[in-house]
């Protein structure tokens, strides 16, 4: 895509949401994480492809924490270990144990000189949300879960704004609607899909339009850990975002927030859908 930084999200979307059969088993995990060093909480979605003992996939971190990235590692028995490195260069080592449908573990953030980050540690716990063989969603419900994760990944990814500068999606949305502070992450919480006629309901190309509800998490001066709930509607037939609005917020919004939010929504919404449809 011309309007968006091309990084591993594109590869991730291709593997996750196209109906190309691959010899890998996949699993989607959903839960929470906690940065013990800074006492901050977040949400975690983990998509894993397993090929023998090797694993790959994507981890989406939201809430008041960041670090979404491609993952690579291995599974030895019930122990899963992998490494992630986000676009800002933050490297995290993850390790956990699977007991039934629960993956429970710890993580360590490597010191990062360029960003000024010191060593950090934390915990995570996720439950199995869905699994299938050969990398193909077996139901509409399975596709919805993966599509939500893919949209969340896109909304948090870097984008190129109209002025040519690069910005992470969460902060670009925040700057368009709030006067002071920093956007941290986006968490997609709900999705409503309007399908085309005779659709398989398991492929992004069958979508007529969709509406997502999401929460923007941010740091402010008055409210250190704030959030803003929003919704975005994208019409695939038109290739346009038709609505992007604020539902509720714990902070003060700009007077021009309605128009500005729609503008950045057009940029991000179009980039997200293009990533799905052009991922092959």
- pLDDT, residue 268, reads 56
CB 47 within 8 Å of CB 58: yes
What sign results for the dihedral spanned by CA atoms 138, 139, 145, 148?
positive
- pLDDT, residue 75, reads 97
Give the model's confidence band at 221: pLDDT under 50 very low, under 70 low, under 90 confident, else very high: confident
Q: How far apart are CA 214 and CA 216, in angstroms?
A: 7
Q: Which of 170, 189, 184, 150 is closest to 264 using CA atoms?
A: 170
- pLDDT, residue 24, reads 72
Find the mean pLDDT for residues 93-116: 93
- pLDDT, residue 261, reads 53
Every domain range in the chain assigned CATH 2.40.128.30? 21-132
Find the mean pLDDT for residues 181-197: 94
End-to-end distance of the chain based on CA atoms, in angstroms?
12
- pLDDT, residue 25, reads 85
Q: How far apart are CA 29 and CA 214, in angstroms?
A: 19
Q: Which residues contact 241 (CB under 8 A, 6 or more apart)?
A: 232, 233, 234, 235, 262, 265, 266, 269, 270
Q: How far apart are CA 84 and CA 8, in angstroms?
A: 11
CB 201 within 8 Å of CB 143: yes
- pLDDT, residue 276, reads 52
Give the model's confidence band at 194: pLDDT under 50 very low, under 70 low, under 90 confident, else very high: very high
pLDDT over 90 at 30, yes or no? yes
Find the mean pLDDT for residues 138-155: 88
pTM exceeds 0.85: no
pLDDT over 60 at 191, yes or no? yes
Q: How far apart are CA 218 and CA 169, in angstroms?
A: 12
- pLDDT, residue 254, reads 64
SS3 readout for 82-117: EEEECCCCCEEEEEEEEECCEEEEEEEECCECCCCE
pLDDT tens, residue by residue, 69-86: 999 999 999 999 999 998
Mean pLDDT of the chain: 82
Q: Which two tokens stand for residue 136?
A: 């193909």
Q: How far apart are CA 74 and CA 122, in angstroms?
A: 20
- CA within 13 Å, CB half, 224: 4
CATH match of 21-132 with 3.40.640.10: no
DSSP 149-218: HHHHHHHHSEEE-TTS-EEEHHHHHHHHH-SSSEEEEEEEEEEEEEEPTT--SSSGGGEEEEEEEEEEEE
pLDDT tens, residue by residue, 241-268: 888 888 998 887 765 555 555 555 555 5
CB 236 within 8 Å of CB 207: yes
Give the model's confidence band at 164: pLDDT under 50 very low, under 70 low, under 90 confident, else very high: confident
Q: Which of 95-99, 109-113, 205-209, 220-224 has the lowest mean pLDDT?
A: 220-224
CB 46 within 8 Å of CB 166: no
């Amino acid at each position: 895509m011309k309007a968006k930084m091309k990084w591993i999200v594109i590869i991730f979307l291709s593997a996750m949401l196209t109906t190309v059969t691959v010899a890998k088993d996949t699993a989607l995990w959903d839960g929470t994480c906690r940065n013990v060093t800074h006492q901050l909480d977040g949400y975690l979605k983990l998509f894993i492809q397993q090929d023998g003992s090797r694993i790959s996939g994507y981890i989406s971190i939201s809430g008041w924490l960041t670090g979404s990235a491609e993952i690579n590692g291995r599974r030895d028995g019930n122990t899963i270990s992998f490494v992630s490195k986000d676009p800002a260069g933050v490297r995290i080592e993850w390790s956990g144990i699977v007991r039934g449908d629960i993956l429970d573990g710890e993580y360590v953030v490597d010191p990062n000189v360029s960003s000024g980050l010191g060593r950090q540690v934390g915990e995570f716990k996720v439950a199995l949300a869905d699994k299938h063989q050969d990398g193909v969603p077996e139901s509409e419900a399975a596709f919805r879960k993966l599509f939500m994760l893919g949209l969340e990944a896109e909304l948090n990814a870097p984008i190129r704004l109209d002025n040519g500068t690069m910005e992470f999606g969460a902060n670009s949305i925040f700057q368009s609607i709030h006067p002071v502070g920093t956007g941290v992450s986006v968490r997609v919480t709900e999705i409503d899909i309007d399908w085309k006629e005779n659709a398989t309901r398991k492929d992004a190309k069958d979508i007529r339009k969709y509406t997502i509800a999401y929460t923007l998490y941010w740091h402010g001066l008055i409210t250190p850990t704030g959030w803003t709930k929003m919704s975005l509607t994208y019409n695939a037939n038109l290739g346009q975002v038709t609505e992007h609005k604020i539902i509720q917020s714990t902070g003060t919004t700009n007077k021009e927030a309605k128009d500005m939010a729609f503008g950045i929504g057009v940029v991000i919404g179009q980039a997200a859908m293009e990533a799905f449809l052009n991922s092959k």
